Structure formats: C-alpha cells, structure tokens
Chain A
Amino acid sequence: MTTSKASVPQLRRTRLQRWWPTFMVTLTLILVGLLLVLPLLVVLITAFRSGVGPYLQALQTPDTLSALRLSLLTVLIVVPLNTVFGVSAAWATAKFDFPGRSLLLTLIDLPLAVSPVISGLVYVLLFGRQGWLGPWLEANDLKIIFAPAGIILATTFVTFSYVARELIPVMQAQGKDDEEAALTLGASGWQTFTRVTLPNIRWALLYGVIMCNARALGEFGAVSVVSGKIRGLTNTLPLHVEILYNEYQTVAAFAVASLLALFALLTLGLKALIESRTGHSHP
C-alpha cells in the first residue's frame, strides 16, 4: 500500500513504517464494515430470508404502495420548498452582510439540533384540536395534523437546514466577483442568478437536494407524532416499516426497509457521481 499522492517526498517513505498505511486502511475497513456494512447486510438478508417471491409480494401490497405514494408526495413537496428556501437563505447570507446575520445562520441550523419528537410535538401544539390554531382550523374544516399536510410540515421542519447548509459555505467561498461581473455586463438580477450563480453552485445544490431528499424520505420520529397512522392514508414508508414489524411481519418490514435502504444507496451513489464530476469530495 502506498500513499495516494504522486509527489510524496522520500522523507515520508523513510519515516513511516511500511505497515502504517496498511494498518490504517484495514482499521477503516473494519470500522466501516462493522458500523455501516453489517447493518445494511442485516436489512437485506432479513428482507430476502424467505426468498425473492415473498420479498416482491411484500412490496406490492396496497398498504405498502400507498405508503410509498405518500412518501413520494411528501418528498415532492418538501424538497422543492426547502430548496427554494435554501437558495434564498444562502443568497441573503452569503452575498450580503447585515445586522443579525450570524443569528440567522444559527437559526437556520436550529432544526438539526431539535429532537424529532419535538419537531412533531410543536405542530401538534400549534395545529392539534387542543392547539393554538386548532379551533380555527376545525371551524374551517381544515385538516393539518393527522393528514398529509401535517406529515409534510413535520418533514419540512426536520429537513429544513440541509440545502441551506450545503449552499452557504460554497456561496460564501465564491464571493461576489462573478455576480458583479455579470451586472457590469448588463445582466439583470435574475439573469445574473440563473446564468452565473446557479451554474456556480449547481453541484452543491444537487448535493443538498439529495441529502434533503434522503432525510425527508426516511424521517420517522417527527412524522410518527403527527401521522395518526391510518393504514393506506397517513402512513409513510418508515411508519409502515414499524407497523409491519409490530404485526410480526418481519420479512415484509425488512423488505420495505430494504426499499428505503435502496433509496439511500441510490442517493449515495448519485452523490459519489457528483463528487467524481466535481473532482473532490464534499463536506
């Protein structure tokens, strides 16, 4: 095993015992294997414990399909919302300086540190029948909690920061020169954004969207508080995993879980592709 940089001076070679890189690589593979690969294997092996037939069957039940639909609907709404927010927040905080900017940055991070249970609870306190807006919502026959709207809101809260967090440092590092150049060349604000800023941040943006998407698809704690768990109506895939598991349908539960793991792997694969395009790994 040699070090990856081509121009490594002789100094390093003589100093480091030959076994050191081998040792580090082995240790890393063991850690990754134990912490990450093994759990993934458990999901897959359990899902296919009874063979491919039952696996496919479990994925085709109406309840699973409806949970899949709701999960996809949630993602389709939440990800664009948080993406528009992320771009907007990154533009405001990275291209401008204004009083309270660092407080705003902390607030954008806040949902990351809030327990998922609390993320669900706040909406119950706000929109539940006992909540602040509950009576008004009921009077107008609007349903938020225990309906897809509540699930979408709770998921939005949980994945709130992901796109913004990706974009802000990248936009900050890029500075304002490109935008100013576009302005001096006569571009309008919108042209500057779409033709200069957006291409500059596209990989970070895509990465943020992917991570937001992954979390939105997988959120459990917050959603379980506001879902009502009505089979076929307010079940998302992660909730459906729990339900199947509680019904002693272990194979089906893990089959759905493996579907989610598959989405996760797909996401990670896409992410790796992005990194190979940009040529460096992403924070």
Chain B
Amino acid sequence: MSIQVQQVSKQFGTFAALHDVTLDVPDGQLVALLGPSGSGKTTLLRVIAGLETPDAGRVLLGGQDITHAGPGERGIGFVFQHYALFKHLSVFENVAFGLKVKRGGQRPAPAIIRDKVMRLLELVQLDWAAARYPAQLSGGQRQRVALARALAVEPQVLLLDEPFGALDASVRQELRDWLRRLHDEIHLTSIFVTHDQAEALEIADRIVVFNAGQIEQEGTPEEVYDQPATLFAYRFLGKANVLAQADGQVTLARPHDLHLHLTSVAGGIPGQITRIHVVGPEARVDVARSDGLGSLEVHVPKTQLGGVQVGQTVFLSAERQVVLPDKAGT
C-alpha cells in the first residue's frame, strides 16, 4: 500500500524536527530514510506510525487520510531500534500479542493464532525459540522476533526504526541481506530509518536523504550516489574529494573515479603519495596535492597499483566529476 506524506511539519519546543516534508512511497517498495542524527528521519517514521502527531500536514495510507488515526488503527507494523520486546512474555507470546489483543469478534481462534505465529517464526527462522524469553536470545534474534511480531497483525506497511543500529557488524550484514530477501518475498511496502549509507545503498529500492528536518534528495541508490543533488547529499553518501572550488561552485569526485598517473596528463592534479593502504582487493592511496589544497583519496584495484611507493610524485585525473553549488556549513 502506498504512503503519502504531505507538507508535514513537527516542532519539539524550539527545535524544528520536520519542516514541510512531502514524500511519496509507492506500493511495494523498500525505502530508506537516510540522514545524520537529529535530521528528522525518525520523527517522520513516528509520524507515519501515529506515534507523533504532526503540527501541520497530512499522512495518507493507500490514499486514505490517517493523520488522526491512532497507531493501532493504521494497519502499520513498527519495529523499534531497541526491539521493545515484552520481557515477561515468551517469544511465542510476543508474536501473538497483536492477535490476542484484538477485540472480541476480530480475535482469531487460539488454533489459528498458533498456526500463524509458528508460520511467522519459521519465516524469521526462530520457530525453535518459541518458548524462550527475549532475555535468552541474541540481539539479532531479538530483532527478528520484533519483526515477526510486527508482521503478525498483517500490516499494510512495515516501518523499521534503525533496525540494525544496535547490532554487531557481522550480524548486521547478515540481517540486511535477510531483510532484503524477505522484502522480495512478501513485497510489503516498507520504510526503514538508518544513518548508515552503506546499509541504505545496499538494500533500499529508493533512498530519501534527510538533513535538518527536510528532504535533501530522493531517488534510487544509483541516483543519489552518482548524481547527488546537493553537496550535503554527496558528502553524506560517501567519501568526497574536492578537486576545485571557485565562484560558489565546487567540483567533486569519488575516490574510485580518480585515476593515478605516473606522468603528467592534461588537467592532471600533481601530488605526492603519503600513504598506501591495502584493504582486501582494493588499494587506498592518499595523495597530498602539490598546490597545497589538501589531500585526495584514490581507490584503485590492488592489481593496478603497479610499483608506486610512498613519497612518489603522481598525477590525478577524474573519470567522472560532479559540480555542485557550494553551500556553506556542509
């Protein structure tokens, strides 16, 4: 089901968490809200969930205005950053919670609840842990229980607040892949909040970049990475090398878009290698510019490194570069 956010604003005291935000999420997409801490992405997610009331604007779900509906009436599933599992309930009971609190006629029969919960636990590969309590599970397992719990009420949309934020790096990677696969399986419209650009780039269909309570850019991962609309978006999505800065314009290039030359080339930037650092198949080379305008980072495949050494003078050219308006403060 599609989600429309129309001109939503939200103020906390003197702090504007959201300022006139408008966003369309088409049915069946997995969308990432990406931005630094305090940029408003979590607030937007909570407004969609009904956990915060916007000061202005509307929220539509499948074309229906739900701005003033309670969080339980919206048909959303919400996954909390710190899971918010009910400690006193077993894994099974946690997942069954949303079904058991349904009012009289709508509450499924116990046998149906049982089947459904067990199916969901199988889906998140935790059917073996039904009788356990949250305290007996690892972080990743808990997050999967939280997900199963949110899915149990058959939500129209799934909202995840920094779902992997509290997990170890390896578990995180595993869960990312798993979430993407899950989404491909069930095609539930989903929005997740993250401050990790790699995470957003890896699994989202679309990325919405947030900054200071406003949407900075919106697009596919390729679009936002390769054609950032603003300097902020460019910088937030990856390492940015400033090639030139003049007349309110700044020219930037990503490290792997730079080429390393041993001899002078046209328009090449001369510099001296200060450090060579090999990370797996890739070599990261730091070059101090001879014109004294700072240093640049170049990524080249290790096999193409040749015999360059620290201290050697090299020339850099950009295969692809972006020119953006130079806004101060980014």
Do A's and B's CB atoms come within 8 Å in the complex? yes
* Complex alpha-carbon distance, A183 and B74, angstroms: 11
B101: which A residues are within 8 A, CB to CB?
182, 185-188, 191, 195
Q: Chain B residue with minimal CB distance to A196?
A: B86
> Complex formed: what's the CA distance from A184 to B73 in Å?
8
Give CA–CA (A186, B84) in the complex, Å: 15
**With known contacts A186-B102, A187-B101, A195-B101, A181–B88 Cβ distance under 8 A:** no
Given A177-B80, A200-B88, also A182-B97 (CB < 8 A): yes
A residues less than 8 Å from B51 (CB atoms): 180, 183-184
Q: Is the beta-carbon distance between A199 and B86 smaller than 8 angstroms?
A: yes
Q: With a CB–CB cut-off of 8 A, which chain A residues contact B70?
A: 183
List, in ascending order, chain A residues with CB within 8 A of B98's CB: 185-187
Complex: A196 Cα to B100 Cα, angstroms = 13
Select which of A177, A184, A191, A195 is within 8 A of B76 by beta carbon. A184
A177 to B162, CA, bound (A): 14
> Max chain A CB contacts within 10 Å: which of B76, B80, B84, B88?
B84
Name the interface residues of B149-193: CB closer than 8 Å to any CB of A: 149-150, 152-153
Instruction: Assess whether A185 is in contact with B149, with CB atoms less than 8 Å apart.
Output: yes
Residue of B nearest to A184 (CB): B78
Q: Say if the beta carbon of A138 comes within 8 Å of chain B.
A: no
- Asked, given contacts A191-B101, A195-B97, A195-B101, whether A184 binds B77 with beta carbons under 8 Å apart, the answer is yes
Q: Bound state CA distance, A10 and B97, in angstroms?
A: 48
Question: What is the CA–CA distance of A183 and B52 in the complex, to the nearest angstrom?
Answer: 12
Most buried by B among A195, A199, A202: A195
Contacts of B72 in A (CB 8 A): 183-188
* Set A177, A191, A202: member contacting B82, Cβ < 8 A: A177
B49 at the binding interface (Cβ < 8 Å): yes
A199 to B87, CA, bound (A): 9
Size of B's binding interface in residues, CB under 8 A: 26
Q: Write the chain A residue with the least CB distance to B75.
A: A186
Most chain-B CB neighbours within 10 Å: which of A177, A199, A202?
A: A177
Q: CB within 8 Å of A: which of B81-119? A: 82, 84-89, 97-98, 101-102
B77 contact set on A, CB distance < 8 A: 184
Q: If A186-B101, A186-B153, A195-B97 touch, does A180 touch B82 (CB 8 Å cutoff)?
A: no
Cβ A180 vs Cβ B88 within 8 A = no
Chain B residue contacts of A180, Cβ below 8 A: 51, 71, 78, 80, 84
**B306 CB to nearest A CB, Å:** 50
CB distance from B7 to the nearest CB of A (A): 24
Instruction: Kindly report which residue of chain A lies nearest to residue B76, judged by CB atoms.
Output: A184
Structural contact, B88 and A183, CB atoms closer than 8 A: no
**Chain A contact patch, size range:** 10 to 19
Q: Which of B84, B149, B150, B153 contacts A177 (CB 8 A)?
A: B84
CB closest residue in chain B, given A174: B87
Q: How far is the CB of B62 from chain A (nearest CB, A)?
A: 18
Q: Which residues of chain B come closer than 8 Å to A191, judged between CB atoms?
A: 101
Determine the distance from Cα of A188 to Cα of B70 in the docked complex, in whole angstroms: 10
Q: How many Å from the CB of A47 to the closest CB on chain B? A: 42
A183 to chain B: closest residue by CB: B71
B114 to chain A, nearest CB (A): 17
How far is A177 from B80 in the complex, measured between Cα atoms in Å?
7
Q: B50 — which chain A residues lie within 8 A by C-beta?
A: 183-184
CB closest residue in chain A, given B87: A200
Contacts of B150 in A (CB 8 A): 184-185
Chain B residues positioned under 8 Å from A200 (CB to CB): 86-88
State A188–B77 Cα separation when bound (angstroms): 16
Q: Whole-angstrom distance between the alpha carbons of A199 and B76 in the complex?
A: 25
A195-207 toward B: CB 8 Å interface, digit per residue (1/0)?
Answer: 1100110100000
B71 touches A184 (CB 8 A): yes
Chain B residues with CB below 8 A from A196, complex form: 86
> Are A181 and B82 CB-contacts (below 8 A) given A186-B72, A187-B97, A191-B101?
no
| Neighbouring A residues of B85 by C-beta, 8 Å | 181
A162–chain B nearest beta-carbon distance, Å:
24
**Interface residues as binary, A66-85 with B (CB distance below 8 Å gives 1, 0 otherwise):** 00000000000000000000
Task: Give Cα A181 to B147, complex, Å.
Answer: 11
Task: Tell me the minimal C-beta distance from A251 to chain B in angstroms.
Answer: 48
Residues on B with beta carbons closer than 8 Å to the beta carbon of A185 = 72, 97-98, 101, 149-150, 152-153
**Chain A residues near B84 (CB, 8 Å)?**
177-178, 180-181
Shortest 4 CB-CB contacts between residues of A and residues of B: A185-B98, A177-B84, A186-B72, A199-B88
Extra contacts besides A183-B51, A187-B101, A200-B87 (10): CB < 8 Å:
A178-B84, A182-B97, A183-B50, A184-B150, A186-B73, A186-B98, A186-B101, A188-B101, A195-B86, A196-B86
Residues of chain B having any CB pair with chain A under 8 Å = 49-51, 70-73, 76-78, 80, 82, 84-89, 97-98, 101-102, 149-150, 152-153
Name 30 A/B residue pairs within 8 A (Cβ), A-sorted.
A177-B82, A177-B84, A178-B84, A181-B80, A181-B84, A181-B85, A182-B86, A182-B97, A182-B101, A183-B51, A183-B70, A183-B72, A184-B49, A184-B71, A184-B76, A184-B78, A185-B72, A185-B98, A185-B150, A185-B153, A186-B73, A187-B101, A188-B72, A191-B101, A195-B86, A195-B97, A196-B86, A200-B86, A200-B87, A202-B88
